[in-house]
Chains A and B, each alone.
Chain A
Amino acid sequence: MKLTPATESQKAFIARIEKESGTSVSLCYQCGKCTAGCPAAFAMDYPPRQVIRMLQLGMVDKALSVESIWICASCETCTARCPRGVDIASLMDAMRREALKQGKVTDKKVAAFNKAFLNGVKHFGRTYEAGLMLQYNLTTGQFLKDMGLGLPMMKRGKVGVLPETIKARDEVKKIFERAEKLGGEE
């Protein structure tokens, strides 16, 4: 592909990502330590070092559409080891949120899991694991996924019969609403 100077909108995007993640991509000198230590790099289309390089070069759309940002497990090994102090894990996090906002999610399953998870918290104030798995399986069409584990879990008393709810459900719901509103403004 042909490289051209980053446009104003690309520059603005990178500045936003940097602010969101509290780190700077220009610090990176491409040593590759993040990638060498990444436990999920084997499954990525572009390893962490290359994702940072894309951002350095202003290849914003490409960076947002890589599968890697959804394979990142947020283990923070990269951040812990970066000799330049780049918070790569936080960048990956900011990229996921940006891709979600722009509707550019390449891994629908991870996004579906997150949605199901937060949905439970919004309504009950706590996570209901059994309900989460059920909703996740239904929305992703994997009706039989982990079915073999359901019964053994129940036998061991590891599945709550009913979701636990907290008293301040309304307060939690309002936190979600205000956060959505504030997040949308930015």
Chain B
Amino acid sequence: MKLAYYPGCSANGSGIEYRMSMERTAKILGIELQELEDWNCCGATSGHNTEKILSLALPARNLAIAEKTGLSMLAPCAACYSRHRHTENVIQHDPEMKAKIEKVLDRELQGTSETLSVLDVLANKIGSDAIKEKVNQPLTTMKAACYYGCLLVRPVEETGWDDPEDPQTMDRIMTALGADAIDWSHKTECCGAALVTSRPDVGNRMLYRVLKDAKDSGAECIVSACPLCVLNLDMRQAAVEKEYGEKFDLPIYYVTELLAIACGDAYKTVGLDKHFVTADKYLDTVKARGVEARAAAEKAAQEAAAKAKEKGNKAKGKTAASSTEADPKKVAAFVTAFSKNPDKMAGKLIDDEAQAGILVSVLDDKKIAKLAKLMATDIEKAKKGAAAFVAAELKRQGDCQ
């Protein structure tokens, strides 16, 4: 895959680690990035706050350049993405405004550009399966709050690749990296954006609410794909903690940093040392916990196998196995239950929550069919089967390391 690349103004300043990790992520996944020739600032919020035609003309100049490359344009910054996407929408649907933009630009526009967000590219164009294949340092046991903020998902008429109230793309990416994407309510709440600078009395409270909800929902870190969200949550977290008398200690990561690290990059390669809230210690903790979880799962699987063998030996004496044929209706019901509520079904087979999570992450049609059949005949056998699947996955993850 080859994409035109619009780094945005924060890429060489406050969001430098986003640039580093974005470029590493592209390399790992085999995406070729071609930086847009002589790009200019999109005008951001200040542009559309001040002059409408200017706020459209600034991104339109970049789109005119992108059009000529014939490539779709990746804009990792959420604000840059939003401004370019909005301008594209205007160019395509408002001929009167398009003519005005062309007049201001003194350039002609074809209206063929396509701006893409990093989440759309990773989750929809590349896909979690392809990402999973590259993971060799899985983030097993990481509890991450996937934070989308405003401009990646709104307005849905212009973004359209995820749900604006409960988006899932980043959750899918994080799950593919082996992490646990927690459920929380502030996924798409505003971080305060520029208000954190211009009106800290308002902005800090908005920041506080996001941090607080993440913490209360059991998150141990926040993951984002927006340089302004990260800057606010990371750099100003200490000030918010002081103002509200509450300690959060939540490391803030770019999704691209975690992807590169899960695929074997060193922390420094993606700029983890540039964070304000210490970001490396938590990753070390995750790693240590992952090793423990894998060892425990292996032990449990071995014990279960030994137990089953013993039981099997005892049963051998008896004639005529009770019911080896599974009732197809029952099997079908279990298959439906698996696809509707995999977490609940996994919980029935495995007591350990982390291991049940691993089972859910590896379930495919074949595995579901097998487990459903076993559950319809013998729940103990189904439990064994589930444990074996988990053990196999953990072994695979271990081998990768």
Contact = CB atoms under 8 A, between A and B. Distances in A.
B22 to A, nearest CB: 16
A3 interface: no
B54 A175 contact: yes
B190 A175 contact: no
A133 B10 CA distance: 13
A84 interface: no
Contacts of A176: 54
B23 to A, nearest CB: 16
Nearest to A87: B155
B53 interface: yes
Contacts of A40: 190, 195, 202, 206
A26 to B, nearest CB: 21
Given A175-B57, A179-B51, A80 B155 contact: yes
B189 A146 contact: no
A180 B50 CA distance: 10
B17 to A, nearest CB: 9
B106 to A, nearest CB: 7
Nearest to B100: A182
Interface residues of A, number: 61
Contact of A76 (B12, B44, B154): B154
Given A73-B195, A107-B199, A20 B39 contact: no
B206 A129 contact: no
A97 B49 contact: yes
B268 to A, nearest CB: 12
Nearest to B94: A22
A60 interface: no
B104 A164 contact: no
A11 interface: no
Interface in B174-207: 188-190, 192-195, 197-199, 201-203, 205-206
Contact of B164 (A74, A80, A94, A156): A80
B312 interface: no
B52 A20 contact: yes
A151 B15 CA distance: 16
B50 A97 contact: yes
A103 interface: no
B189 A182 contact: no
A158 B43 contact: no
Nearest to B37: A167
B40 A114 contact: no
A102 B330 CA distance: 72
B51 A97 contact: yes
8 closest A-B pairs by beta carbon, nearest first, are A75-B190, A117-B46, A127-B9, A179-B54, A114-B46, A75-B150, A76-B154, A43-B202
Given A40-B195, A73-B190, 12 more contacts: A42-B205, A75-B151, A110-B199, A113-B194, A113-B197, A121-B47, A125-B40, A126-B9, A158-B16, A171-B106, A172-B58, A182-B103
12 contacts: A79-B154, A94-B52, A97-B49, A118-B46, A127-B10, A157-B16, A157-B274, A164-B9, A164-B12, A171-B106, A182-B103, A183-B52
Interface of A: 20, 39-40, 42-43, 71, 73-77, 79-80, 87, 93-94, 96-97, 100, 107, 109-110, 112-115, 117-118, 120-121, 125-130, 133, 136, 146, 149, 152-153, 156-160, 164, 166-168, 171-172, 174-176, 178-180, 182-183
